[in-house]
Homo-oligomer: A and B are copies of this chain.
Amino acid sequence: MKIINIKEVPMKKVTMEDMKNTFKQVPISKKDGAPLFCFRVFTIKPGGHTPYHKHPFEHVNYIIKGHGYLKDKNGKKRPLEKGDFALVQPNEYHQYGNSSKRTDFVIICAVNKKYE
């Protein structure tokens, strides 16, 4: 059993092509013995976004805080806010971004432990 508060988890800036103002924390991962999937938290600062890309694994999301968007495979930005859940399928194009000029956009992004 592991219990950890998000405030105790180290935060690192993510550097990837087309990634802007985005920071990552990994509260639950395979390092903790997670058998199947892990929980990461992304904090996307105002003006920030993740790449518009796809990969062979899914994301399952919960929006903790703020206002943002999830760009779908047709390029449409679908709004996301606190209390929303999202499922992005394997090989589906997607991008997360912050829609606010003032507040952070904070989301859980769960993935197969193979990828974190």
> A interface vs B, CB < 8 Å?
1-7, 27-28, 32-39, 57-58, 60, 62, 70, 72-73, 78, 80-81, 83-90, 92, 94, 108, 110, 112
A14 to B58, CA, bound (A): 28
In the assembly, how many copies of this chain are there? Answer: 2
Contact status B35-A90, CB under 8 Å: yes
- Taking the nearest CB of chain B, how far is it from the CB of A16, in angstroms? 21
Contact status A70-B3, CB under 8 Å: yes
Contact status A32-B2, CB under 8 Å: no
Contact status A58-B34, CB under 8 Å: yes
Contact status B36-A1, CB under 8 Å: no
- Taking the nearest CB of chain B, how far is it from the CB of A30, in angstroms? 11
